[in-house]
Copies of this chain bind each other. A is one copy, B any other.
Amino acid sequence: MTKIKNMEEFAALSGISRPTVSKYFHDPDSVRPTTRARIEEALERFDYRPNIYAVNQNRKLTKNIGIVVPYLADPFFAEIARYLEQSCIAAGYRPSLFSSHGEQKLENEILDGLQSLKPAGVLLAPLGRTSDRSTIEKFCANVPTILFDSNLDGLGAAFVGSDNFSFVSQTVEYMTRTGEPPSFFEMRTPANPNANKRRKAYVDVMERLGFEPHIIKVDGTGWAFEEIGHRGALKVLQERGLKTDSVLCSNDRLAIGFLAACFEQGIRVGRKEDCSLRVASNDDHPFAKFTCPSLTTAAHDYDNVAGRSVETLFELIESGGKFSTRTETLFPARLVLRDSA
């Protein structure tokens, strides 16, 4: 099989002129069925594909879409990223996936590098509190961007995420209805803005129900939430710092650590007779089903968050990269009852 160097050569071999071939690659339906057939026939014989760099150089609007998540080693983001990627591909775009790995510097570098990719649009889940606001602001001014998961006030053309109040109110109400109102277990200085909204929601809901909120704050920074939850739980359990027999963790990864600590300390968790503690959480992490006991949690509406994010981005791209107003779309949680509470 001959090696084809460029479109010129391929056009000659297929017996069609180069501009028409170019038109075909831009949109196969834009040429006459007979010529399309001839091109595709040649395509099978010769295995040619346009040079992506030459193509994108001349298009002011590429088919690239950037997907940026704060921490890809977190299966939660890996799952969302998977959905986003596949939606982009289905819509004919080329997604590029990036992880900030929890570091501001890397997030900035990614956004920097993304600009030279001239993406048609970007789906960005920022680090949150540790994001460099000014860098993101500049980036959003140059590239059509949808924020998801973590909201940064006013940045990006729109935000799509989960309704943290819905998460916490459902778990708190369930635990209260079926037993004692829970304490709230969280990191002292969470990077993710959702964590702050969850704490506020917890306080709100507790007060509305006429209970006094108890918040347990554990030390630790970074993204090793299981480790942080584990250490923090051991400390609390040993100091007998729990004022209630039920605990609501800010997120599932902390809860995984919490449950591991309980197990080590011989504390039985669940709603059965012989259990002394109930633990619930938020997110419905992919592994929440396999904790011991399995984790009762408020589940993200993964499909809708991801689906609406890409829909919104496509609308944004078609609107020329600007919306008249910035919208914020929040999806409610779905309570998943398992064995831990």
Residues of A that sit less than 8 Å from B by CB: 49-54, 56-57, 72-75, 78-79, 81-82, 85-86, 89, 94, 96-99, 101, 109, 113, 115-118, 226-227, 230, 256-257, 259-260, 263-264, 286-287, 289-294, 339
Given A51-B116, A57-B53, A226-B289, are A78 and B82 neighbors across the interface (CB < 8 Å)?
no
What are 10 A-to-B residue pairs whose CB atoms are below 8 Å?
A: A51-B57, A72-B72, A73-B75, A74-B75, A75-B78, A82-B99, A94-B113, A260-B290, A263-B293, A291-B292
State how many angstroms separate the Cβ of A276 from the closest Cβ of chain B: 16
Q: Which residue from chain B places its CB closest to the CB of A59 in the assembled complex?
A: B53
Which chain B residues border A109 with CB–CB below 8 Å? 89
A25 CB to closest chain B CB (Å) equals 12
CB distance from A279 to the nearest CB of B (A): 12
A226 to B98: give the CA distance in the assembly, Å: 26
Question: Known contacts A263-B293, A287-B256; is A98 also within 8 Å of B97 by CB?
Answer: yes
Looking across the interface, which residue of chain B has its beta carbon closest to that of A78?
B73
Chain B contacts of A292 at CB under 8 A? 259-260, 263, 291-292
B contact residues around A54 at 8 Å (CB): 53, 57
List residues of chain B with CB within 8 A of the CB of A75.
73-75, 78
Complex Cα distance, B42 from A274, in Å, reads: 72
**A97 / chain B contacts, CB cutoff of 8 Å:** 72, 97-99
Contact B230 A290 (CB under 8 A): yes
CB-nearest residue of chain B to A138: B47
Give the shortest distance, in Å, between A149 (CB) and chain B (any CB). Answer: 16
**Chain B CB within 10 Å, residue with most, of A57, A82, A292, A293:** A292
CB distance from A332 to the nearest CB of B (A): 24
Chain B residues with CB below 8 A from A227, complex form:
289
Partner of A82, one of B101, B264, B291, B339: B101
Docked CA distance A86–B105 (Å): 12
Give CA–CA (A86, B51) in the complex, Å.
Answer: 28
Tell me the minimal C-beta distance from A93 to chain B in angstroms.
Answer: 12
Distance in Å: Cβ of A330 to nearest Cβ of chain B: 24
A256 close to B290 (CB less than 8 A): yes
Which residues of B are found within 8 Å of A52, using beta-carbon distances? 116-117
Provided the pairs A226-B287, A226-B289 are in contact, do residues A294 and B53 lie with their beta carbons within 8 angstroms?
A: no
Contact indicator B287/A287 (Cβ below 8 Å): yes
B contact residues around A51 at 8 Å (CB): 57, 116
